[in-house]
Structure 1
Amino acid sequence: MFKRKKTKIVATLGPATSTKAVLKGMLDEGVDVFRINFSHADYKDVEERIAMIRELNDEFGYNAAILGDLQGPKLRVGTMKGEVIVNEGDEIIFATGERFEGTKERVYMTYDKFPQDAKPGERILLDDGKLIFEVVSSDLKSEVKARVIQGGPLRSKKGVNLPNTNISQPALTEKDIEDAIFAIKMEVDWMALSFVRHAEDLMQLEELISKHSAHKIPIIAKIEKPEAVENIDKIVAYCDGLMVARGDLGVEIPAEEVPLIQKQLVLRAKQARIPVIIATQMMETMISSLTPTRAEVNDVANSVMDGADAVMLSGETSVGQYPVQVIKQMSNIIKSVEDSELIKVPQLPPHIRTKRFITKSICYHAANMANEIDAKAISTLTNSGYTAFQISAWRPSAHILVFSSNKRILTQLNLLWGVKAFFYDKFVSTDETIEDVNKIACQKGYVQEGDMLISLAAMPIQDKGMVNTLRVTEITGCNFEN
């Protein structure tokens, strides 16, 4: 049987991925999730792209998921008048209020409460930390005076980071609310919120989703602020996934601290049984080159070995010259490292007796047993996708085959490590269902004659309740129809 990767690939949509042929090429090479970056999204383009992806899913049997990524309270400077260069020691005014074109003496700041929040001595970082300023004083109304600590070109609309400032801006801006309502209308599979600081930020988004959607849309908390790292235990309790957004995180905290924080966050997500995505600059050179650097190959491999569910591409696929080739390269790296014995996942059994304790326990034992008896697949029938999250988090060596009559679940689960979902709506007796499922696993090439397969089900099957049964089958009479 040919090798299939289990770690998922998230690719950002953009001008480079505007045709059906390119999207199909990316799916063929291993994309699992397409990300809409609402910082740069045009609604009409997004609608067209989503329609194309869903057509490809239907036509070729893919389950590509769509992730709507909200901008969050991203601060920016305004437009500059011509080329502006600031030098160390220069003083500059950051002004709010009415928009104007910036000069080296005075620039517009999009965040109107900045004069109230900024304290003397705090740092202002611009353009991913390329420029550094220190707050000298504030008039508490509309102007903040700052001194240049590290100079260079001051470009239009560049992002601003305030690592030491406690900003009072809400996590969901007006733009985010508008974008979220549009994303709900488009029935995206996942929604990510940028610059999460507290669990309350996620509660606000959850409330907005439940108000405008009949279905639950799982939320990913993007970790890119020091407060988020400090509050991670509470954040994890209120989100359905994490994203380690290393771009802004590496500006807000010293870059050398990011590698260990990445490992800490992956571990925390695994303990919470939620998926985690590693993002930013993974294959950056492939925006304009056909070959990644050795360091980038190492970075992707190490993220997989840390235990990430997914690795994400941004500029590489949104504006890069080689969107299909970068997916191929990434898939090759993933396949070559993900079966290594060096990868260790925390394997502590569930101990908190919640109402789902039986299901959790069965999923844990199924994953362990699959490794012990070298089962090639674990199959589960699900209506909510819950068992898929649980089994995936234990990282069994077996493939995780999920069967559901809930079509929304099929694409949603495509983000989870090792999970392959299939539409199945014949809920008959357990024996018949398990035989059916085993047959599909055979036909799709996940198992062959003589292989062991573990099946999880809820008895009685028609009730579609919580999983309470584990069964082991040896595959006999497997006819391939691949």
Structure 2
Amino acid sequence: MLTNKKTKIVATLGPACSTREIIKDMIDSGVNVFRVNFSHADYNDVKEKISLIRGLNEEFGYTTAILGDLQGPKLRVGVMEEGVVVHDGDLITFTTAEDILGTAKKVFMKYKNFPNDVNPGERILLDDGKLIFEIVETDKISEVVARVIQGGELKSKKGVNLPNTKISLPAMTEKDIADAIFAIEQHVDWIALSFVKTPEDLQDLQELIAKHSDYKIPIIAKIEMPEALENIDKIVAYCDGLMVARGDLGVELPAHEVPLVQKELIRRAKTARIPVIVATQMMETMITSLTPTRAEVNDVANSVMDGADAVMLSGETATGNYPVQVIQKMTQIIQAVEDSPLIHVPQNTPQIKTKRFITKTICHHAATMANAIQAKAICTLTNSGYTAFQISAWRPNAHILVFTSNKRILTQLNLLWGVRSFLYEKTVSTDDTVTDINEIVKAKGFVEKGDFLINLAAMPIKDKGMVNTLRVSEIE
């Protein structure tokens, strides 16, 4: 039996969850979206997993979604000699000229423009910020000399962050373009773009999707760079969801700044009525232990109370020892806190008179009215899923039940807080549809005799236009 929580769980696919049984147990325990991490993805393996998940959806009536997560321009150093250690104050040269075996004196940097992009005084962070260097000089062609600020062991192929540098790399590398095309061909429900800096990065991906797909795949902007925070208003206007990617964000920014940034990003997403995922190290200890730390439990609970649509697991489900138990534990934490009166939703009513103003206003009133009359469910008929995004963002106490004939959005909407979607292909008159849907909702156990229920629809129904009708029904 699926869980009845409203906050969604995104779980990363990997060797730890590769069998049909484990994936089914994970869905039953609370997974709503499976993430394909293209940093470590083998196409044949991904195809296999996707068809496995879709097979389970088909067989058991699940609506589990698939999120393709592009790696983005992750900078790395080359291969190092064994046991290289650098000490504070040492000088080290980063070269882009040739792929040498790295030593404590000289290291290969796998990014051609590195010497040209950086300037003296800027910092180089290596291995998630464990090692810190300050640039002394650059020849702007192939070599950069840096001083060690915080030393340690220099390991092969470790990631590099340049928090003070404006990098000239686009957000999509050749690998990302190939991965995105593959993801589009697999009809994934969402695509996440890493290291987004500007709205142009998102437009490049939108154009790629438009070229290779005959329908829109929504894009999640992963926020992990200071530059993205500067451009956040423009980024929010061009994406369909946000991810607070705390791993790189906590390296690019001082770690103590991340908690407030997380709260601010969730607030921005809610104001824009788009979903937001909080990611990284949420239940890290559960990779090897059956018990999370108190701090991790608190972290998940606080993300839910901040208003996140979804919380995400990475290594915990991809390579951890307890992929099912970590989901059960996370579901338990979510259910313990998500109905708390301490959670506040930003109450900014729709103001800008766009062509969707009527729909937005109706959705807002549906959510407020549902709370006022204690309606048990808000049912909406939709073809695009737009009303689901709008109602979900208002966080009503009622169930948000979406009926659609568009199979594409059935799984896509599974990322949104509180939303459940059902296939509905009849196009009868409005009265008959409302009666029919109310019967279905009653049969599924969401409402019982005497309960109030709010129906939203676009009249006439056969035109599949924008929602223009709100109706309150009492269940017979």
SS at match of 2:363: helix
1:140 aligned to 2:140? yes
1:155 aligned to 2:161? no
1:356 aligned to 2:341? no
Q: Deviations over 1:254-295 (max 9, x none)?
A: 111111111111000011000000000000000000010000
Deviation of the 1:2 alpha carbon: 10
2:200 matched to which residue of 1?
200
1:98 matched to which residue of 2?
98
Instruction: For 1:19-418, list aligned pairs within 5 A.
Output: 19-418=19-418
Provide the C-alpha distance between the structure 2 equivalents of 1:2 and 1:339, rounded to a whole number of angstroms.
18
Is there any run of 5+ residues in structure 2 with no aligned partner, and where?
Answer: none
Alpha carbons of 1:67 and 1:269: their partners in 2 closer, same or farther (altered >3 Å)?
A: same
Query: Does the 8 Å CA contact 1:3/1:335 hold for their aligned counterparts?
Result: no
1:449 aligned to 2:472? no
Provide the C-alpha distance between the structure 2 equivalents of 1:318 and 1:188, rounded to a whole number of angstroms.
18
1:479 matched to which residue of 2?
none
Provide the C-alpha distance between the structure 1 equivalents of 2:270 and 2:365, rounded to a whole number of angstroms.
16
1:421 matched to which residue of 2?
421
Q: Deviations over 1:129-152 (max 9, x none)?
A: 000001111121111111111011
RMSD in angstroms over aligned alpha carbons? Answer: 1.1
Q: Which amino acid aligns with 2:46?
A: V
Deviation of the 1:99 alpha carbon: 2.0
Q: Which amino acid aligns with 2:257?
A: E
SS at match of 1:32: strand
Deviation of the 1:81 alpha carbon: 1.9
Provide the C-alpha distance between the structure 2 equivalents of 1:98 and 1:205, rounded to a whole number of angstroms.
32
2:463 matched to which residue of 1?
463
Task: State the 4+ residue runs in structure 1 displaced beyond 3 angstroms.
Answer: none
Provide the C-alpha distance between the structure 2 equivalents of 1:335 and 1:454, rounded to a whole number of angstroms.
24
Query: Does the 8 Å CA contact 2:381/2:404 hold for their aligned counterparts?
Result: yes
Q: Which amino acid aligns with 1:263?
A: K
Deviation of the 1:98 alpha carbon: 3.1
Q: Deviations over 1:160-200 (max 9, x none)?
A: 00000111111111111011011001110000000001111
Deviation of the 1:106 alpha carbon: 1.3
Q: What TM-score comes out, normalization by structure 1 length? A: 0.97
Provide the C-alpha distance between the structure 1 equivalents of 2:353 and 2:14, rounded to a whole number of angstroms.
45
Deviation of the 1:348 alpha carbon: 2.1
SS at match of 1:353: coil
Q: Which amino acid aligns with 1:262?
A: Q
Give the share of equivalent positions with the same residue, in percent: 74
Q: Which amino acid aligns with 2:330?
A: M
SS at match of 1:62: coil
Is there any run of 5+ residues in structure 1 with no aligned partner, and where?
Answer: 477-482
Q: Which amino acid aligns with 2:378?
A: I
Alpha carbons of 1:58 and 1:2: their partners in 2 closer, same or farther (altered >3 Å)?
A: closer
Deviation of the 1:97 alpha carbon: 3.4
Query: Does the 8 Å CA contact 2:3/2:30 hold for their aligned counterparts?
Result: no
Q: Deviations over 1:338-383 (max 9, x none)?
A: 0000000012211111111110000000000000011111000000
Alpha carbons of 1:148 and 1:2: their partners in 2 closer, same or farther (altered >3 Å)?
A: closer
Provide the C-alpha distance between the structure 2 equivalents of 1:100 and 1:5, rounded to a whole number of angstroms.
52
Provide the C-alpha distance between the structure 2 equivalents of 1:139 and 1:359, rounded to a whole number of angstroms.
57
Query: Does the 8 Å CA contact 2:184/2:213 hold for their aligned counterparts?
Result: yes
Q: Which amino acid aligns with 1:102?
A: G
Aligned residues: 476
Alpha carbons of 1:384 and 1:282: their partners in 2 closer, same or farther (altered >3 Å)?
A: same
Q: Deviations over 1:87-126 (max 9, x none)?
A: 1111111111332221111111111100001111110000
